[in-house]
């Protein structure tokens, strides 16, 4: 009977805690029934061969336990879609923060020398380990949730599904995750740049004590920083929302249009307001261009250039917004009309 007890012990390991003892009691009783039934000589206790044959027939302990609903997976089907969704977002944020780390490192060094590149190499190497960490944390959390959430509770990713949703999404753009991840990263870097390293945006030249940077954005620019930061954060928020939903819905489009209006307003303010670029005479001289222009003239040229760039940007934002309005509200309504007419 030793073999039977070892077998039951093994099943015990793999059973879910609920009803464990009761299940084992029933299996034990069944095994005894089977052995008794197969025993060629009922007057004698069953021999080992009979017991082994019975256990073999009953099946591998792990498989037996699995039949009682023991979980032999880390994250089950009810959690898996949510898991993937969260994992995607977390990994993108992790990657973005790492790139941000690289940028911060570059700009917080007083002068650029070889050690910066060593640091960058380290950070890029660290990216992989931190991505693994993110992956691990998300996976373990979900494995935990999987085991602690009662079976009855299902976590639904999609709301009540209706065939109408197919029509709604039919000609709606699907989002591209790599593009969004890239955008989020760049935006984060941009926010860090204008908020903490504004003085590093400028002209770089080789001075007496290594590389020197002369900032070109003057104090007039400072007043726009909070506004630019604000719309950048909205942009990130929208991109995270898009990663979650996976496609451009009406709300995403409306938000994007509002953000664009915000951006256009700030761009116009910069164009109309006082010049934001100043090139110092010293820096200009040190650049050593053999030109007949003065620092003032160059500054004026830079500001005009910036205004032209901002003008083009406003134009492209307007076009983009109208495209969004067209594809979401005008074209969409038309499609509905066609179908309801059938």
How many other C-beta atoms are found inside a 10 Å radius of the C-beta of residue 193? 16
Give kind and range of the element (H or E) at residue 255. helix 250-272
Distance CA 211, CA 205 (A): 6
Decide if 34 contacts 54 (C-beta within 8 A).
Answer: yes
User: Based on CB atoms, which residue is closest to another protein, 26 or 113?
Assistant: 26
User: Based on CB atoms, which residue is closest to another protein, 64 or 184?
Assistant: 64
- The answer to whether residue 72 forms part of the interface with another protein (CB under 8 A) is no
Decide if 310 contacts 277 (C-beta within 8 A).
Answer: no
Closest approach of another protein to the CB of residue 324, in Å: 50
- The answer to whether residue 68 forms part of the interface with another protein (CB under 8 A) is yes
Decide if 84 contacts 155 (C-beta within 8 A).
Answer: no
User: Based on CB atoms, which residue is closest to another protein, 34 or 194?
Assistant: 34
User: Based on CB atoms, which residue is closest to another protein, 34 or 103?
Assistant: 34
Closest approach of another protein to the CB of residue 3, in Å: 17
Decide if 275 contacts 220 (C-beta within 8 A).
Answer: yes
User: Based on CB atoms, which residue is closest to another protein, 58 or 205?
Assistant: 58
Decide if 286 contacts 207 (C-beta within 8 A).
Answer: yes
Closest approach of another protein to the CB of residue 5, in Å: 15
Tokens describing residue 126? 């660290």
Site residues (CB under 8 A) for another protein, limited to 7-46: 19, 23, 25-27, 29-30, 32-34, 37
Give kind and range of the element (H or E) at residue 215. strand 210-215
User: Based on CB atoms, which residue is closest to another protein, 25 or 147?
Assistant: 25
Closest approach of another protein to the CB of residue 156, in Å: 23
- The answer to whether residue 110 forms part of the interface with another protein (CB under 8 A) is no
Decide if 12 contacts 59 (C-beta within 8 A).
Answer: no
Tokens describing residue 290? 């053999």
Closest approach of another protein to the CB of residue 77, in Å: 18
Distance CA 129, CA 97 (A): 13
Closest approach of another protein to the CB of residue 42, in Å: 12
Size of interface with another protein, in residues (CB under 8 A):
19
Q: Which residues here bind another protein, judged by CB under 8 A? A: 19, 23, 25-27, 29-30, 32-34, 37, 57-59, 63-64, 67-69
């Amino acid at each position: 009977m030793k073999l039977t007890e070892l077998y039951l012990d093994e099943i015990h390991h793999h059973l879910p805690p609920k009803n464990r003892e009761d299940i084992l009691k029933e299996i034990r009783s069944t095994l005894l029934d089977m052995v008794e039934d197969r025993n060629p000589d009922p007057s004698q206790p069953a021999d080992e061969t009979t017991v082994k044959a019975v256990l073999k027939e009953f099946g591998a302990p792990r498989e037996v336990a699995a039949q009682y609903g023991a979980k032999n997976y880390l994250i089950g089907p009810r959690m898996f879609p949510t898991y993937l969704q969260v994992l995607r977002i977390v990994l993108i944020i992790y990657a973005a923060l790492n790139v941000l780390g690289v940028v911060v490192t570059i700009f917080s060094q007083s002068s650029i020398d070889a050690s910066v590149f060593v640091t960058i190499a380290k950070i890029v190497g660290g990216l992989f380990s931190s991505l693994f960490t993110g992956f691990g944390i998300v996976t373990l959390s979900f494995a935990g949730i999987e085991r602690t959430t009662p079976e009855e509770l299902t976590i639904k990713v999609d709301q009540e599904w209706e065939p109408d949703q197919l029509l709604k999404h039919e000609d709606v753009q699907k989002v591209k995750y790599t593009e969004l991840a890239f955008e989020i990263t760049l935006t984060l870097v941009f926010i860090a740049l204008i908020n903490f390293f504004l003085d590093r945006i400028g002209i770089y030249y080789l001075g007496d004590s290594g590389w020197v940077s002369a900032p070109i954005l003057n104090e007039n620019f400072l007043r726009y920083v909070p506004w630019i930061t604000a719309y950048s954060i909205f942009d990130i928020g929208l991109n995270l929302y898009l990663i979650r939903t996976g496609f451009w819905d009406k709300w995403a489009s409306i938000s994007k249009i509002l953000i664009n209006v915000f951006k256009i307003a700030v761009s116009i303010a910069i164009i109309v307001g006082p010049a934001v670029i100043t090139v110092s005479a010293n820096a200009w001289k040190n650049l050593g261009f053999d030109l007949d222009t003065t620092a003032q003239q160059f500054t004026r040229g830079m500001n005009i250039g910036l205004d032209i760039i901002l003008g083009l940007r406003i134009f492209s934002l307007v076009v983009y917004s109208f495209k969004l309005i067209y594809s979401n509200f005008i074209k969409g309504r038309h499609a509905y009309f066609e179908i309801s007419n059938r």
